[in-house]
Amino acid sequence: MELMDINLMMEITPLLIKAAWITIDISARGLFFGFFIASALVAMRSSRFFPIRSLARAYVSVVRGTPYFVQLLLVFYGGPAIGLRLDPFTCGVVVGAFNIGAYMSEAIRGAIESVDSGQNEASRSLGFGRFATLQHIILPQSAGLMIRSIGVLAIILVKNSSLVSIISVVELTYQAQRLIGSTYKPLEVFTLSALMYIVIIYAVMGLVEFLYRRATRYTYL
Amino acid sequence: MTTATTDTPMVELKGVKKRFGDLEVLKGIDLKVERGKIVSIIGPSGSGKSTLLRSINNLEEIDEGSILLDGVQVNRPDLKGLAYERHINHIRQNMGMVFQHFNLFPHLSTLENVTLAPRKLKGMDARSARDLGLELLERVGLADKPSAYPNSLSGGQKQRVAIARALAMRPKVMLFDEATSALDPELVEEVNQVMKGLAEEHMTMLIVTHEMAFARDVSDWAMFMDGGVVVEENTPDRLFTNPDQERTCHFLRKHLGNQASAQMPS
Amino acid sequence: MEFNFAPVITYFPTLIKGVGATLLIGLVVALLSIIGGQIVAVITLYTRKAVNWPLRFFIWLFMTTPLLLQLYFLYFGLGQWVLIPAVAVGVLGLGFHYMAYNADIFLATIKSVSKGQYEASRSLGFGHVATLFHIILPQAFYRAIPQLGNNMIIMVKDISVLSAIGIAELVYLSQYAISVTFRPFEFYITIAVIYYFINILMESGQSWVERRAAARR
């Protein structure tokens, strides 16, 4: 008896690749919208108005304090009760974005706060306003750290996307589970699907490293 | 900005008070810097001298009193929100501030450090900004380093770039907050030379410093601060050699050590 | 829209049972993953390549693939070869997953303690093994506590995923109640509130433990 059924693996590879694209698609969209949600939360956290600051803080606390899986089930199955009907894929993108957005807002805030306060003072003393200081001085210096933290979150987002299989989005984990059920070859299916997750994650890591180097080039000039 | 007559002081403080929580760090300061003059402020750490300088630049907001730059009020408790922001940004463009720890922008080359503000705030085109930047770098003795990044510069070079950066906005007054305190001793002189150059060009300057000899040498007026008040002010020759107050005397004797006691006839 | 939380009240005993199951699973997985993570880290650091290479591979594999995929593999894979109850698959799956994450932390803290401390201890006359157990590991453990706490807080949230392979924890038991009452919104909101409460408790517990441990680092 051979270790693995190579023929079967060849046969199911196209199916898994197709499913992997859905995983990439749902994660990329979640990350994209999550970034805007995070930016909005960061802006709210630095608002002059206490209620707006507290609202953002409460949102981040609740999202971080409850399981992503429960959030997904709440929106998908509970959403219709409040008039929110989303198809599974959209639901995955939306919940993923709102979930990762909360974490990302903390990452962005952390990166911004890592910049020495003297930088802010020097810029303000030249006559730059709060926004111009953020744009020209603070963001370029926090970009490196920001990219790395967002990279970590992007990888979590990819792994979290496996949970949308529960609301029957045909992504990588859904397809893997279905194939295990129909072929009774868990090792083969697991090996291939794990490999695809690993490829996706390493691609993200490579991209993050590339962007990090570009953003921090000034430190070794 | 209103056009002030030549006899309006460039900087004027009236009864300035500042509290951090329960601690009153400025207890009613009056101060005048005439245009083209140089005023030094000395005093022990915690005396409020840095807070005073930072208040003039509005990096600290004062609780009472008023600060005027060339006849225009800096602190404006009557303004709120965006109007206040706009006012402060405009005022600050007329003041150059030099920090103890330089605070150069590490992601920008020295030339970009100098030209960022004129380009973005005055809308200066790239070519004129570059000319201005190179001219200022030459003035601080760094004409050969326009494309160097701050991390590759020595402390003295960094501080000279920071001075050029502040000069780029053509300020009416320069504020120096212990500009040489963070420098290695052998690098102090090159920064002092640049400041002396500015003095010769009649730049109005307010200098908070630990360098007694330099302060005495360069300034027109000297003030000694302690515990949030101006204990004594006088011409530098008088203040440094023959102070009226016991506290000033005590501070000078303790702080100067051998370096300046030689200059004191006592 | 109208909300009706009466069914939630009716099924409250079920929810309590679910919370109990969730907390019990959490406790077992925490012990398994922390003790196991410590053992895996020590074996990985102090054995020959033939032994530690596969271990490093499994740490890496568990950290780069999603938990649910691992659970499916164990559930269907192990089920092929041995008769094993679903709850054991769930506990082992979650346990292995976080064992990898915890081992990764221990690897780092053991290495950081070893620098300097190892030589100091050997120079006092302690042997290699005595140094490891009396000097290195206790310090490495205290250093790891903040990150272990973070991992365990994340782990408890992941227990909800076990409902996917039919383990009767909070979410799974609620899904039964939902299928009878057709009130998903009310039930999932309640679950979220319960989880948020557990999370707050764990975070305050974490800062309490960290304060106590900080003195011994």
* pLDDT tens per residue across span A104-146: 999 999 999 999 999 999 999 999 999 999 999 999 999 999 9
Q: Is residue C39 predicted with pLDDT exceeding 90?
A: yes
Selected residues 149-168 of chain C with any CB under 8 Å from a CB in chain A: 157-158, 160-161, 163-164
On whether residue A204 sits in a domain, the answer given is yes
pLDDT in tens, B65-89: 999 999 999 988 888 888 999 999 9
**Side chain identity at residue A122, one-letter code:** A
Per-chain mean pLDDT for chain C: 90
| Chain A closest-CA separation from residue B168 CA (Å) | 9
Provide mean pLDDT across the span C120-145: 86
On whether residue A29 sits in a domain, the answer given is yes
Chain A touching partners, 3 or more CB pairs below 8 A:
B, C
- The token pair at B226 is 């302690």
Provide mean pLDDT across the span B222-247: 91
| Chain B closest-CA separation from residue A54 CA (Å) | 20
CATH number where B42 lies: 3.40.50.300
A contacts of C183 (beta carbons < 8 Å): 81
- Domain enclosing residue A20, as ranges: 6-220
Query: What's residue C217's pLDDT?
Result: 61
CATH number where A63 lies: 1.10.3720.10
Lowest mean pLDDT: which of A122-131, A168-177, C60-69, C134-143?
C134-143
Lowest mean pLDDT: which of A36-45, C78-87, C186-195?
C78-87
Query: Using CA atoms, how far apart are residues B206 and B221, in angstroms rounded to an integer?
Result: 10
Query: What's residue C116's pLDDT?
Result: 79
On whether residue A114 sits in a domain, the answer given is yes
pLDDT in tens, A63-81: 999 999 999 999 999 998 8
Query: Using CA atoms, how far apart are residues C168 and C17, in angstroms rounded to an integer?
Result: 9
Query: What's residue B258's pLDDT?
Result: 46
Q: Is residue A221 predicted with pLDDT exceeding 70?
A: no
Residue A8: other Cβ atoms inside 10 A: 15
Task: Identify from B56, B103, B108, B119 which residue to disrupt to test chain A contact, counting A C-beta atoms within 10 A and taking the largest count.
Answer: B103
β-pair partners for A221: none
Alpha-carbon torsion A117, A120, A126, A127, what sign? negative
On whether residue B43 sits in a domain, the answer given is yes
Provide mean pLDDT across the span A144-154: 95
Query: What's residue B257's pLDDT?
Result: 59
Task: From residue B101, give the alpha-carbon distance in Å to each of A65, B98, B171, B223, C138.
Answer: 41, 9, 20, 23, 42
Lowest mean pLDDT: which of B5-9, B142-146, B209-213?
B5-9
On whether residue B126 sits in a domain, the answer given is no
Are A60 and A102 spatial neighbours (Cβ–Cβ below 8 Å)?
A: yes
| Inter-chain residue contact A127 with B117, CB threshold 8 Å | yes
Residue B221 main-chain phi, psi, to 5 deg: -150, 140
Q: What is the DSSP string of C152-183?
A: HHHHHHHGGGGGGGT--SHHHHHHHHHHHH--
| Chain C closest-CA separation from residue A218 CA (Å) | 30
Query: What's residue C133's pLDDT?
Result: 86
On whether residue A140 sits in a domain, the answer given is yes
Task: From residue C62, give the alpha-carbon distance in Å to each of A171, A176, C94, C159.
Answer: 19, 17, 10, 16
Query: Using CA atoms, how far apart are residues C12 and B256, in angstroms rounded to an integer?
Result: 78
- Please tell me which of the candidates B95, B104, B149 has its beta carbon nearest to residue A221: B149
- The token pair at C100 is 């990898």
Put simply, whether A176 touches B (Cβ < 8 Å) is no
Chains C and B share 3 or more Cβ pairs within 8 Å: no
Of residues A147, A121, A134, A162, the one with CA closest to residue A216: A147
| Chain B closest-CA separation from residue A40 CA (Å) | 20
On whether residue A1 sits in a domain, the answer given is no
Chains C and A share 3 or more Cβ pairs within 8 Å: yes
| Inter-chain residue contact A218 with B108, CB threshold 8 Å | yes
On whether residue A160 sits in a domain, the answer given is yes
Lowest mean pLDDT: which of B237-251, C9-23, C70-84?
C70-84
% of chain C at pLDDT higher than 70: 99
Of residues B137, B170, B178, the one with CA closest to residue B40: B178
Query: What's residue B260's pLDDT?
Result: 46
pLDDT in tens, C163-175: 999 899 999 999 9
Structure confidence at residue B4 as a pLDDT band (50, 70, 90): low
| Inter-chain residue contact A125 with B92, CB threshold 8 Å | yes
Provide mean pLDDT across the span C6-15: 87
% of chain B at pLDDT higher than 90: 74
Total of domains in chain A: 1
Of residues B104, B107, B131, the one with CA closest to residue B119: B131
Report CA dihedral (B191, B195, B196, B198) to the nearest 10 degrees: 140
Chain B touching partners, 3 or more CB pairs below 8 A:
A
Query: What's residue C135's pLDDT?
Result: 85
- Please tell me which of the candidates B86, B101, B116 has its beta carbon nearest to residue A136: B116
Q: Is residue B163 predicted with pLDDT exceeding 90?
A: yes
Are B228 and B195 spatial neighbours (Cβ–Cβ below 8 Å)?
A: no
- The token pair at C27 is 């406790």
Specify the residue for token string 């979640």: A30
| Inter-chain residue contact C160 with A176, CB threshold 8 Å | no
Put simply, whether B57 touches A (Cβ < 8 Å) is yes
- Which tops the pLDDT comparison, C129 or B260? C129
Put simply, whether A181 touches C (Cβ < 8 Å) is yes
CATH classification code of C12-214:
1.10.3720.10
Query: Using CA atoms, how far apart are residues A20 and A120, in angstroms rounded to an integer?
Result: 44
Q: What is the DSSP string of chain A?
A: --SS-HHHHHHHHHHHHHHHHHHHHHHHHHHHHHHHHHHHHHHHHT-S-HHHHHHHHHHHHHHHHS-HHHHHHIIIIIGGGGT----HHHHHHHHHHHHHHHHHHHHHHHHHHTS-HHHHHHHHHHT--HHHHIIIIIHHHHHHHHHHHHHHHHHHHHHHGGGGGGGT--SHHHHHHHHHHHH--HHHHHHHHHHHHHHHHHHHHHHHHHHHHHHTGGGG-
Q: Is residue A41 predicted with pLDDT exceeding 50?
A: yes
- Please tell me which of the candidates C76, C186, C200 has its beta carbon nearest to residue A180: C76
Query: What's residue B263's pLDDT?
Result: 46
On whether residue B151 sits in a domain, the answer given is no
| Inter-chain residue contact A186 with C199, CB threshold 8 Å | no
- The token pair at A121 is 């003072």
On whether residue A77 sits in a domain, the answer given is yes
- Domain enclosing residue B44, as ranges: 11-106+174-261
- Please tell me which of the candidates B89, B103, B149 has its beta carbon nearest to residue A127: B89
pLDDT in tens, B16-44: 999 998 899 999 999 999 999 999 999 99
Q: Is residue A9 predicted with pLDDT exceeding 90?
A: no
Put simply, whether A23 touches C (Cβ < 8 Å) is no
Q: Is residue C190 predicted with pLDDT exceeding 90?
A: yes
Task: From residue A169, give the alpha-carbon distance in Å to each of A33, A123, A177, B141, C114.
Answer: 19, 49, 12, 66, 48
- Please tell me which of the candidates C64, C66, C189 has its beta carbon nearest to residue A74: C189
Report how many Cβ contacts below 8 Å link chain A to chain C: 114
Query: Using CA atoms, how far apart are residues A20 and A10, in angstroms rounded to an integer?
Result: 16
On whether residue A73 sits in a domain, the answer given is yes
| Inter-chain residue contact C69 with A186, CB threshold 8 Å | no
Q: Is residue B155 predicted with pLDDT exceeding 70?
A: yes
Alpha-carbon torsion B163, B168, B170, B171, what sign? negative
Task: From residue B241, give the alpha-carbon distance in Å to each of B248, B253, B256, B264.
Answer: 10, 10, 11, 5
A contacts of B108 (beta carbons < 8 Å): 218
Alpha-carbon torsion C178, C183, C185, C188, what sign? negative
Of residues C128, C106, C108, the one with CA closest to residue C118: C128
pLDDT in tens, B131-149: 999 999 999 999 999 999 9
pTM exceeds cut of 0.90: no
